[in-house]
Structure 1
Amino acid sequence: MAGDGPRSVDDPAVTRIEVPVDTRAPGGTTNAYLLDRVLVDPASRTDALDAALAERGSADAAGPSIDAIAVTHAHPDHVGAVADYAALTDATVVAREGHADRFAAAAGVAPDETVAPGETVGDTGVRVVDAPGHAPDHVGFAVGGPEAGEPSTRSALCCGDLAVAEGSVAVAAPEGDLSAYLASLERVRDAGYDRLLPGHGPAIDDPTAVCDRLIDHRLARERDVIAAIDGGAADLDAVVDGAYAKDLSGVRDLALATVAAHVEKLVAEGRVDEAWRARLADHGLD
């Protein structure tokens, strides 16, 4: 097992562990986090993650080092070691309410409990935050700050694939929902967190600026999609060609699914012809 060593993220109750995993995200890693006594997004089992759990320890040497295991969303590069660490720690496995079957299918283990946005994870101070868009079951996990009764600590949101410090996040059909994604970015921006802890890459120290950048990026891509359709593009491949100026070698499938998500939003808003629904279905992206 391999992986970078644990990295403290200012607050001693928050530890980030970069976990090597099969992902298309830059860097080839997913960030697992220890938030209070909750393990979030254990993408694979590594020595570094084992060590971080051991360092947390327990008042009772025979007791578990964590109380719960949760994920921001049930994509393969976030759930790969849920079952392993559930067996190792005997921690309570937690899934988002309404998505237990999706969680079990991805993680290989059924959740012990479900939680809804606005609730806390078990008896910890970790709060569940609604953040769909990248995936329908997507949530964030918030710690610290006045809302947690800790006015002397900075508030942080473990935000999964809602945001990244650099680049952009894939919001891809058929399960990506751009309207929900943009609304989630706006809610998180307006909530006033001091720091965002993303699923990939470094921490985000200016949440407002990054959320605004990601919103602007999506709206700019939307304008490109509309321009391509208005310019005569008659199918998704033609829209992709018109909406992207860069070389799409190796990522064209992702660009196609992203454009499909944009078209779904535009159809729902009545801004492009309803006939595009059938064109999405032709690609299995409706």
Structure 2
Amino acid sequence: MSNSNSVNQGLKMNVIPKLSQLSSRVWRVLGCNPGPMTLQGTNIYLVGTGRKRVLIDAGQDGFPEYVQNLTKLLNDENVKIEHLVLTHWHHDHVGALPEIEPILKNDTPFVYKFPTIEPQDVPIPSSFKFTPINNNHILKTEGATLRVIHTPGHTTDHAILYLEEEKAVFSGDCILGEGTSVFEDLFEYMKSLNIILELEPKLIYPSHGPVIDDPSEKIQFYIYHRLQREKQILSVIQASEVPLTPTEIVRKVYQDTPEYLYPAAEVNVRHHLTKLIKENRIQENDDKFFVREDGKI
């Protein structure tokens, strides 16, 4: 299971069908890999209206029902995949690449992904034509024009896709249909949220959770949520008479969150702490955090 997703707040979730047509040019295939970090599963999208279409993400390996459903969709629609775009390297988005290879009807589709900054990127099976992409790369297929936009923060290679015909965004794990997302770099993540906000999408197709019909409100909530978390963390540190560990901060800030989600919450807290240290607003010693010696915060 990847560490890709939500610190979910116990929200009541709308049931997502395993296979559903969302618009005249968008089908959603549920990855059938439910879990605390993947919610009901990873959403994989088939985009276009012609005989050749674009697949967004590959899903997670080890879930044959998903592969069967994707196979059924391709056969029922009598279509092939000419392009496959990976939103980022996390396992629940790329792991099934070898498993879906046999259903591609002997095609060798292009696979697109932004490179990571890590020493080794995700391995792509040799039967695919892997193409590293640049920001604002345009992919066209019948009925759909997709602009791939680099939105780091969740991961260094994370990307969203803007569907021009619908003014819709495939948000990957940057914005979820339920709950909030984790991230590797809070500073970059906040910039990416603002990039999506500036697109003024009419619809968001997330990689986890249901379709988002109120994008602007959702994105602004995400931004507000992160700023509120920062204020909570600062307040907890300021109120404490002794330095606090990240685990102690989590227990004070995330009191309404189930304990099994505390590890994911701690990842978020640590990113906030790193940001605050860079801004000279707090100090750290031996993984314990406290206000600056001059008392400023």
TM range (shorter): 0.7 to 0.9
Deviation at 1:101, TM superposition (A): 6.6
Deviation at 1:30, TM superposition (A): 0.8
Q: Does the aligned pair in 2 maintain the 1:96–1:137 contact within 8 Å?
A: yes
Aligned residue in 1 for 2:213 = 205
Deviation at 1:88, TM superposition (A): 3.2
Of the candidates 77, 85, 88, which is equivalent to residue 73 of structure 1? Answer: 88
Q: Residues 208-228 of structure 1: CA distance to partner in whole angstroms, max 9, x if unpaired?
A: 000011111111111111112
Deviation at 1:121, TM superposition (A): 3.4
Q: Residues 228-275 of structure 1: CA distance to partner in whole angstroms, max 9, x if unpaired?
A: 2212343212222222222542122112111101111111222212x3
Of the candidates 38, 47, 53, which is equivalent to residue 35 of structure 1? Answer: 47
Q: Does the aligned pair in 2 maintain the 1:236–1:256 contact within 8 Å?
A: yes
User: What is the one-letter code of the residue matched to 1:138?
Assistant: H
Q: Does the aligned pair in 2 maintain the 1:155–1:193 contact within 8 Å?
A: yes
Structure number with higher relative contact order (C-alpha < 8 Å, ≥ 6 residues apart) = 2
Aligned residue in 1 for 2:103 = 88
Aligned residue in 2 for 1:143 = 163
Q: 1:100 to 1:6 in 2, by over 3 A?
A: farther
Deviation at 1:140, TM superposition (A): 0.6
Q: Residues 117-171 of structure 1: CA distance to partner in whole angstroms, max 9, x if unpaired?
A: 21123777221012111111110112123xxxxxxxx211111111123321122
Q: 1:78 to 1:98 in 2, by over 3 A?
A: closer
Deviation at 1:108, TM superposition (A): 6.0
Q: Does the aligned pair in 2 maintain the 1:19–1:43 contact within 8 Å?
A: yes
Structure whose residues are more often helix by fraction:
1
Identity %: 25
Equivalent residues in 2 for 1:116-195, closer than 5 Å: 116-121=134-139, 125-145=145-165, 154-171=166-183, 176-195=184-203
The reply to whether residue 259 of structure 1 matches residue 269 of structure 2 is yes
Q: Residues 63-102 of structure 1: CA distance to partner in whole angstroms, max 9, x if unpaired?
A: xx01111211111111121223245322122221456975
Q: Secondary structure at the match of 1:208?
A: helix
Q: How far apart, in 2, do the equivalents of 1:279 and 1:111 lie?
A: 44
Of the candidates 90, 100, 104, which is equivalent to residue 122 of structure 2? Answer: 104
Q: 1:268 to 1:86 in 2, by over 3 A?
A: farther
Q: How far apart, in 1, do the equivalents of 2:113 and 2:275 lie?
A: 27
Aligned residue in 2 for 1:250 = 260
- Unaligned 5+ segments in structure 1 are 59-64, 146-153, 281-286
Of the candidates 67, 72, 77, which is equivalent to residue 51 of structure 1? Answer: 72
Task: Give the alignment's Cα RMSD to 1 decimal.
Answer: 2.5
Q: 1:108 to 1:256 in 2, by over 3 A?
A: farther
Aligned residue in 1 for 2:295 = none
User: What is the one-letter code of the residue matched to 1:217?
Assistant: H
Task: Provide the aligned length of Structure 1 versus Structure 2.
Answer: 256
Q: Does the aligned pair in 2 maintain the 1:74–1:102 contact within 8 Å?
A: no
Deviation at 1:103, TM superposition (A): 4.2
Q: Does the aligned pair in 2 maintain the 1:185–1:215 contact within 8 Å?
A: yes
Aligned residue in 2 for 1:226 = 234
The reply to whether residue 113 of structure 1 matches residue 116 of structure 2 is no
Structure whose residues are more often strand by fraction:
2
Q: How far apart, in 2, do the equivalents of 1:6 and 1:247 lie?
A: 31
Q: 1:198 to 1:33 in 2, by over 3 A?
A: same
Q: Secondary structure at the match of 1:250?
A: helix
Aligned residue in 2 for 1:196 = 204
Q: How far apart, in 2, do the equivalents of 1:267 and 1:100 lie?
A: 24
Of the candidates 1, 22, 28, which is equivalent to residue 9 of structure 1? Answer: 22
Q: How far apart, in 1, do the equivalents of 2:157 and 2:116 lie?
A: 8
Deviation at 1:24, TM superposition (A): 2.5
Choose 45-54 or 95-104, whichever is displaced more. Answer: 95-104
Q: How far apart, in 1, do the equivalents of 2:138 and 2:117 lie?
A: 17
